[in-house]
Structure 1
Amino acid sequence: MKLINKSILTAVITLSTASVYYAQQVQDTVQKSKDIDEVILRGVTDIAKDRKTPVAVSTIKAAQILERQGNQELVELLNTTPSVYATKGGGGFGDSQITMRGFESRNIAVMVNGMPVNDMEGGTVYFSNWTGLSDVTSTMQVQRGLGSSKLAIASVGGTMNFLTKSADMKRGGILRFGVGNNDYLKTSFAYNTGKSENGWSSSILMSRQAGSTYIENTQYESYAYYFALGWEPNKKHNFQFTLTSAPQWHNQRTFSPTIQNYIKYNPDHDGTPYRQYNSDYGYYTDANGNKVSLANRANYYSKPVMMLNWDWTMSEKSKLSTVLYMSNGRGGGTGELGRVGGKGITDASFLDTEGHFNYDAIFAANKAVNVNTAGAGSTLIRRSSINSHNWYGILANFQHKINDNWNFSVGTDDRYYYGYHYQVASDLYGASGYKDSNNKNIAPNIVNKTYNYQQLAWNPFGGKTAPIQDQIGYSNDGEVIWYSGFGQVEFTKNDFSAFLQGSVSNQGYQRIDNFIQDGVTKQQGQVVNTKTGFKNLFGYNIKGGANYNINANHNVFANVGYYSKQPFFNSVYPSNFQVVNPTLTNEKIFSAEVGYGFRSPKFSANVNVYRTQWGDRWLRRTNQTFTLPDNTTTTGYAEISGITEVHQGVEFDAVYRPTNFLEFQGMFSWGDYYYKGNATGAAFDDNNNPLTLAGTSTSTTLYLDKVKVGGTSNNSIPQMTASLGATVKPVKDLSIFGTWRYVGKLYSSIDIATFSNQAAQDKGVMKLPDFNLFDVGFSYKIRLRDSAQYFTIGANVYNLFDTTYISDASTNVFTKTSDQFATAAQYEAYQSSLYKGIDPSNRVLFGFGRTWAANLSFNF
């Protein structure tokens, strides 16, 4: 893609659907500007066009990101988009979660300049790896539903496309400085050289962000860098090279505490939940007698991405766009491993009176263990689970205009991915070492070397960061080979446009387990090897749509599509074994949508109705807590197969501008997401041993038929959202804005233990309380004599009224009835302990209270 001068602004007019009010604001700027060139779109990026592309779409520009993001997560800016729900997840830096039409990020195609970035093994997108996007994004476009991408990607819920700044932007720079709650501090610098007479141009950006979030002990440090080099030797060829990354480390809250613990550990002891509470850290006493905090859960990562784009205008009718890219990610996440004295880290003897880890007690227990003579796993340590990868790809798209009405495109998307997964010791918690027996080639193995998660991995070319003798727990690699072809035919005549698109793909998966004895180890009754060999899976999709502009005000569109989607890596090799799933099958997705749009100078609106059915879904839920038949608990994961989901709903969004000084924006979405039929689930501990749960067997029917769809990653999914915003411009260059947002029909995550009981089917997934939030802010531009130089100051307050609300939940502990208590007094006491009608033993995440951010920038 090539953007000329200030074409980032012009792109909104050409590309957006006017479903968000930002397009209206930018349009005024474009009309008044005299030096904005026409946008020329190139490359493999699929951008929806208003009143032409038959999909539901919303667009946000760089100016809006700068104005409103503050210290929010980038995806939170989409919360005023219909059917989108973005939260801060556990609350750590970059730990945000997003759902679209009830589908989570692993089933939303996330792309940067048309390049897919979803993890090739599990589809997950870790937004902490992409925090630098807020600094370099010129346009963020969201297409709900199947979208218009030609690639063989499974955009079940939708597509998020981040378009970054190009090297040939107009010469100039910007300095930014931001502050906010909890010591938030961000500084950045960017400069563009503009294009020289010889066609060369470059762009650079550097930034640093640090502080902590609203949650206890969530300190972080993050950097971002971006470099772009462009060369246009003539009108036929354009080259763009980009390199960007956002190395970071941050402490986390990954475990959802119970409501009763939020209340119990409130320092004010006033019976209200302490929303900042984090049970994933604690304190120890140093040599000087000082109390020092220590995180058990943390994340660290560096994911440099290099891209080389070549756009070749072969003739007036033909263009070829090619992208070569490389991404070598390095990093992982920390957590506990092992037990000491038979006790895990959450044992009551290891907790202090504030609900945090008493590391002094853990250190003392560990020091008493002779690791040489004790059994494996007899010390309690902090491990670091490495999830690094090398990723290479090529993406090519040939476009040809047959005549004024017909054009077509064909292309290929080919990728190679190698993932490294193993554990190392991060902190021995006072132990002399950790004995591990999982590596059958070096057993037992005593490890005493530790790796500091706060030392960022800047080298994008490095391999494994630890030798095999330092690896514990597990050590397996995932190898994925992907190749695909796609084609699209488009027809446009007068007020009618239509497209038909199809793609085929092959995914080859191989699992490599470095800890087994090749040809000796048995799993599920089979002798297995270190390498499984590749399992190839074929998939395809076909979709089409049409748009008709009735007149200058009204248009209608429709789209329909079918996907045969290959399952993710862990469903090909379930239970973390080297044995291929004997019931392996592709997931089947059918989706259809119709929409209507209205455009006028003062009022614009969109209405969409959609239905998606997703069958043969396979799911793994990690970080689960299970109750065993002897009423003890253990952690592990659950695998669920045979899931069918139906997602259907209605969406509405509108913009109204009664005057040039006032604008209103609104949206409403209503969904009906439910499971169709039952499914099968099984539970395993962290060492892959099958578990028998209290009242169930190792494999059991999950009674999900007609149950509402909740989250699958310790998150929740709303089925009704609404927002109403206003922007006032009382004087030139001053904007004052506010937004009200409503979330309702919010459902908790499903869990294997609850729905193995048929009685739970009638109760369904636990419904959380509805909530309303208000955000306000302002932005003011101070112009200097040189029109290219100006200051911008702004501030935002989020959750203005400090509303207490539950954003996500992990469990489904239903409210008890009176017949479950021996006496009326016991029942009354229980009733008084409920939190807004919810059993207090449920594990939840409360949303942030009132937070704020302010910024100052200088453009030159």
Structure 2
Amino acid sequence: MKKITRLLFLAGALMLSAFSMAQTVVTGTVMDAEMAAPLPGANIVEKGTSNGVSSNFDGEFSLITESTEGEIVISYVGYTKVVVKFSGSTSLGNVTLTPDNTLEEVVIIGSGIIDLAEDRKTPVAVSTITANQIREKAGNSDLPEVLKQTPSVQSVQAGGFGDGQMFLRGFDQTNTAFLLNGQPINGMEDGKMYWSNWSGVLDVANAVQVQRGLGASKLAISSVGGTVNIVTKTIDRKEGGFFQQMVGNDNFIKSTAYYSTGVNDKGWSLGVLFGHWQGDGYVDYTQGQGQTYYISVGYQPNDNHALNFMLTGAPQWHAAAGSGKISDFLDPEVNEGRGRRYNSWIETGVNSPNNLHGGVYPGGRNIYHKPVANLSWDWTINEKSELSTVLYGSMGRGGFAADKISDGVGFVRTSFNNHNWYGLVSNYNNQLSETLNFNIGADVRSYNGIHFRGISEFVGGQTSYTETSGYSGTYDITNTYGGISPWGMVFNPNTDHDQRMDRDYEEMITYYGVFGQLEYSKDQFSAFFQGAISNQNHQREEFFFTENENQSEKSDKVNNLGYNLKAGAAYEISDMHKVFVNAGYYSRQPFHDDLFVNTRNSNDLIDPEVENQEITGLEAGYQFGGEKIQANLNLYHTTWANRTLLRTNGQDQDTPAYELYQTQGVKQVHYGAELEVFTQPMDNLRVNGFLSLGEWQYKDSATKRTFDSDGVQIGSDEEINIDGFNVGGAAQVTAGINASYEFLPRLSVDGAWNWYNDMYSTGDPEDPTLSMPSYDMVDAGLSYKMLVGKDDRNSLQFRLNVNNVFSEVYLESVSGTTSASSNPEENYKGVNTSNYGRFGYGRTWNTSIRFNF
């Protein structure tokens, strides 16, 4: 028996020895190309098998394979994967991974909620801006400036800090959906975006994706221009951070610090960012100041669950600038030689008897603080299904403050626009088979808008002001709220109705919808179908203009049901050629502000009621993917019918001359073509470009009505002809070329040229638009990264941006209907100077130094 046992043991040992001799050991170190530092937690897998390991804290790995030769795949979240061949046991040395140029796997938490184009095989018209591009290009600008290198996007700087505007395929940003980690952030009442409330978002952005037209979004939202997904940091796998100091034109200073613990052995992580900025502004009297904070706590108890809590905010104040007569910008006697820096509001601010602060409030000051929090949970149920949920909330506090003298009392009057906003987005995804993928989800929101006027501070020793309202009777206002600090707006809010003035009302909006998508993919063919249905509930409560004291008045509730349907298909002709077509129809609910005759002092609903907008979109595209050149060609046709437009005559609602103009049944047709090309002629040279050709016009006729300040209609309905009038506000033809060249290791120069043509003035659709002069601009930048510290694990990064290098003088916007004069001296490049407008910025610059550790 012992002999048999010894024989078996010897045979087993020989077999184990033979097996060990057949094994191959592949070792190496995974490195971050940007940081020149190790990447712990990278995945190393033998290609075609499940055999894999992870790199250790120093980026090192050792993979045992049963094959003597083959390939291993090295990947890391947010980086381009690398495939390396091996033959026998070998050391690969340092394997360098570079940041991914797409958004594939860039986000860990809430990935099922964030609708990215890469999540679906059927393509859309899309452009992605990576974290590195954002870091280099953002400088002291708003997000729209970063996006202007993408097709059919135009950025309008609009005067003060945070007042930038973006147009996408000719649609303004109220009709483009903006999402922050899957959370809708357009204003619930009117769809507007105020970039001053999001001034810190670029500091924490991993990437931004612009989906033009129908887009890939599955949510129960319906945008006309497209969807912009802002994806922020969540969990960093490794410990690290940065310090950055920036200075720029007109005394701009910005300091930012970020630190992340990375993921510890218990699955916890923490990321914290704080920043401060201030500056005088390019336009006169547009000073601004603000902070940024971001806190992210992540927890991954196991491979199936991942949670993240994020809190971020950007408290800020900034002075505003208005448009003025073009002639005033051109006349040195009027603008005192300031040219395009001239702030036309100084006549009603600095030089007016109401200016009580020596220029602090020349035309008013925007003060706002909007803390935003969300809790994200990803649950991998099994190999085929997962659930992603985001619970979010925001508490906006602030308003627009301006000096005022009334009945001999001097004070700062603030028009407060507060809100409490809560919501939940959830999405369940199931891979039904090898060819079918299905997801279904819900989008629920509750919004309370609180609007009133109050006194932020008394001036000149005054302590009281007498006011009268239907709700509170006659009373003395003695309390001040918020001051001129955005922090004060949050921690010292005005909650007493008998301490408010001029207006006092609230708006309640509830929104709930469901959405779903089915995608089929087999071999070279893919197709999808999406559907969503939602209901919006609106109500308004009045506290100022009421019939009975101490009794508020509520409007009737309005319910609007909306839906959207989208479908598309794609065919991959070969590895280099792909074609696709998409179509969609939206029945889109009107904005809250479109429903009421006068949203500031009346609960009266417009009669007949405002109906849903009707949007039809058609798209087709071709994608070419070569080794040195890639290109995208997109064709689109969007019909936007049954739109309602509101405009006033510019008078304040407190004056008898105030009039509100409502135009119903407006129809617009936007169609065009977009070409985007990416090339890399040499390893150290990239040259990209785009061309967008559009034709955007109003069609048919519409119905116009006029109301006075009490909401009473003046006269009868008026049918107006708008057929063939151009849609103004943005250039219908745009083009751009940008290039970067690394002429020494980690030292590069880049430049961009943008051209805008076929532009028209803004105003009522019934008024023929004015043709605006075309313009072009050149931007340039210089980057250098110095490796420092032990084993070059840290780096110092230097960046210089110069925008509008040649200080091109151009009209950014024009409002008015006065045609060019026969007297050339009364025109500017073909535009009558009696019209109102705004000139764009001249040469601006910023430079920064960033220490990455």
Pairwise same-fold verdict (TM > 0.5)? yes
Provide the residue aligned with 1:86 in structure 2: 155
Q: Is the aligned partner of 1:416 residue 2:446?
A: yes
Report the Cα offset of residue 277 of structure 1.
2.9
Q: Is the aligned partner of 1:853 residue 2:846?
A: yes
Alpha-carbon contact 2:616-2:640 (below 8 Å) kept: yes
Provide the residue aligned with 1:725 in structure 2: 738
Post-superposition Cα deviations, 1:236-265, rounded to whole Å, max 9, x if no partner, equal 111111111111111111x31101111235
Post-superposition Cα deviations, 1:160-185, rounded to whole Å, max 9, x if no partner, equal 01111012332101000000001100
Q: Is the aligned partner of 1:552 residue 2:575?
A: yes
Provide the residue aligned with 2:587 in structure 1: 564
Q: Is the aligned partner of 1:802 residue 2:807?
A: yes
- In 1, Cα distance between the equivalents of 2:367 and 2:752? 34
Provide the residue aligned with 1:138 in structure 2: 206
Describe how 1:266-305 pairs up with structure 2 within 5 A.
273-280=339-346, 282-283=349-350, 293-305=360-372
Farther-moved stretch of structure 1 (291-300 vs 669-678): 291-300
Describe how 1:245-256 pairs up with structure 2 within 5 A.
245-253=313-321, 255-256=322-323
- Which of 665, 681, 694 aligns to 2:704? It is 681
Alpha-carbon contact 2:275-2:291 (below 8 Å) kept: yes
Q: Is the aligned partner of 1:177 residue 2:190?
A: no
SS at match of 2:807: coil
- Which of 137, 145, 166 aligns to 1:68? It is 137
Post-superposition Cα deviations, 1:557-598, rounded to whole Å, max 9, x if no partner, equal 111000001101112222222122222211110001001111
SS at match of 2:264: coil
Provide the residue aligned with 1:391 in structure 2: 421
SS at match of 2:484: coil
Provide the residue aligned with 1:708 in structure 2: 726
Alpha-carbon contact 2:128-2:210 (below 8 Å) kept: yes
- Which of 792, 796, 800 aligns to 1:791? It is 796
Q: Is the aligned partner of 1:332 residue 2:361?
A: no
* One-letter amino acid matched to 1:750: G
Provide the residue aligned with 1:400 in structure 2: 430
**Structure of higher RCO (CA pairs closer than 8 Å, 6+ residues apart):** 1
SS at match of 2:535: strand
Alpha-carbon contact 2:472-2:549 (below 8 Å) kept: no
- In 1, Cα distance between the equivalents of 2:531 and 2:281? 44
- In 2, Cα distance between the equivalents of 1:269 and 1:540? 54
Q: Structure 2 vs 1, CA of residues 402 and 518 (structure 1 numbering), >3 Å: closer, same or farther?
A: farther
Alpha-carbon contact 2:79-2:99 (below 8 Å) kept: no
Alpha-carbon contact 2:471-2:549 (below 8 Å) kept: no
SS at match of 1:85: strand
Q: Is the aligned partner of 1:671 residue 2:689?
A: no
* One-letter amino acid matched to 1:722: A
SS at match of 2:792: coil
Post-superposition Cα deviations, 1:258-310, rounded to whole Å, max 9, x if no partner, equal 0111123567867x944433424644799xx9965543311111111111111
Provide the residue aligned with 1:769 in structure 2: 773
Alpha-carbon contact 2:361-2:402 (below 8 Å) kept: no
Structure 2 stretches lacking a partner, 5+ long: 1-38, 44-74, 82-94
Report the Cα offset of residue 516 of structure 1.
3.3
Q: Is the aligned partner of 1:592 residue 2:632?
A: no
Report the Cα offset of residue 107 of structure 1.
0.9
Alpha-carbon contact 1:266-1:273 (below 8 Å) kept: no
- Which of 772, 779, 787 aligns to 2:783? It is 779
* One-letter amino acid matched to 1:389: H
* One-letter amino acid matched to 1:706: G
Provide the residue aligned with 2:221 in structure 1: 153
Alpha-carbon contact 1:476-1:515 (below 8 Å) kept: yes
Describe how 1:302-451 pairs up with structure 2 within 5 A.
302-335=369-402, 369=407, 382-426=412-456, 436-437=467-468, 439-447=469-477, 449-451=479-481
Q: Structure 2 vs 1, CA of residues 328 and 9 (structure 1 numbering), >3 Å: closer, same or farther?
A: farther
- In 2, Cα distance between the equivalents of 1:653 and 1:236? 39
- In 2, Cα distance between the equivalents of 1:167 and 1:256? 44
Report the Cα offset of residue 464 of structure 1.
5.0
Report the Cα offset of residue 623 of structure 1.
7.5
Pick the structure with more strand per residue.
2
- Report how many aligned residue pairs link the two structures: 758
Describe how 1:485-564 pairs up with structure 2 within 5 A.
485-517=514-546, 530-564=553-587
* One-letter amino acid matched to 1:134: L
- In 2, Cα distance between the equivalents of 1:793 and 1:578? 56
* One-letter amino acid matched to 2:626: S
Q: Is the aligned partner of 1:580 residue 2:605?
A: yes
- Which of 46, 64, 77 aligns to 2:115? It is 46
Q: Structure 2 vs 1, CA of residues 83 and 186 (structure 1 numbering), >3 Å: closer, same or farther?
A: same
- In 1, Cα distance between the equivalents of 2:192 and 2:357? 40
- Which of 663, 669, 691 aligns to 1:640? It is 663
Report the Cα offset of residue 213 of structure 1.
1.5
SS at match of 1:316: coil
- Which of 241, 250, 264 aligns to 1:196? It is 264
- In 2, Cα distance between the equivalents of 1:655 and 1:669? 15
Give the structure-2-normalised TM-score.
Answer: 0.83
- Which of 747, 762, 786 aligns to 2:760? It is 747
Provide the residue aligned with 1:615 in structure 2: 641
- In 1, Cα distance between the equivalents of 2:160 and 2:774? 24
Q: Structure 2 vs 1, CA of residues 666 and 43 (structure 1 numbering), >3 Å: closer, same or farther?
A: same
SS at match of 1:241: strand
Report the Cα offset of residue 144 of structure 1.
0.3
Alpha-carbon contact 1:420-1:464 (below 8 Å) kept: no
Alpha-carbon contact 1:214-1:276 (below 8 Å) kept: no
Give the structure-1-normalised TM-score.
Answer: 0.83
- In 2, Cα distance between the equivalents of 1:160 and 1:852? 26
Provide the residue aligned with 1:660 in structure 2: 683
- In 2, Cα distance between the equivalents of 1:13 and 1:647? 37
Report the Cα offset of residue 433 of structure 1.
5.9
Report the Cα offset of residue 751 of structure 1.
2.9
Q: Is the aligned partner of 1:59 residue 2:128?
A: yes
Alpha-carbon contact 2:705-2:718 (below 8 Å) kept: yes
Structure 1 stretches lacking a partner, 5+ long: 15-27, 338-362, 371-378, 522-527, 711-715, 818-829
Report the Cα offset of residue 638 of structure 1.
3.4
Provide the residue aligned with 1:824 in structure 2: none
Report the Cα offset of residue 640 of structure 1.
2.3
Alpha-carbon contact 2:621-2:632 (below 8 Å) kept: yes
Alpha-carbon contact 2:284-2:341 (below 8 Å) kept: no
Provide the residue aligned with 2:54 in structure 1: none
Report the Cα offset of residue 703 of structure 1.
3.0
Provide the residue aligned with 1:469 in structure 2: 498
Looking at CA atoms only, which structure, 1 or 2, has the larger radius of gyration?
2
SS at match of 2:598: helix
Alpha-carbon contact 1:335-1:384 (below 8 Å) kept: yes
* One-letter amino acid matched to 2:806: F
Query: Structure 1 vs Structure 2: percent identity of aligned residues?
Result: 36
Q: Is the aligned partner of 1:457 residue 2:479?
A: no
Q: Is the aligned partner of 1:122 residue 2:151?
A: no
- In 2, Cα distance between the equivalents of 1:311 and 1:445? 54
- In 1, Cα distance between the equivalents of 2:99 and 2:485? 49
- In 2, Cα distance between the equivalents of 1:151 and 1:123? 16
- In 1, Cα distance between the equivalents of 2:42 and 2:555? 52
- In 2, Cα distance between the equivalents of 1:82 and 1:560? 20
- In 2, Cα distance between the equivalents of 1:496 and 1:279? 58
Post-superposition Cα deviations, 1:297-336, rounded to whole Å, max 9, x if no partner, equal 1111111111111111111111111111111111111347
Report the Cα offset of residue 390 of structure 1.
0.6
Report the Cα offset of residue 832 of structure 1.
1.4
- In 1, Cα distance between the equivalents of 2:411 and 2:645? 29
SS at match of 1:279: helix
Q: Is the aligned partner of 1:214 residue 2:282?
A: yes
Q: Structure 2 vs 1, CA of residues 38 and 535 (structure 1 numbering), >3 Å: closer, same or farther?
A: closer
- In 2, Cα distance between the equivalents of 1:436 and 1:187? 44
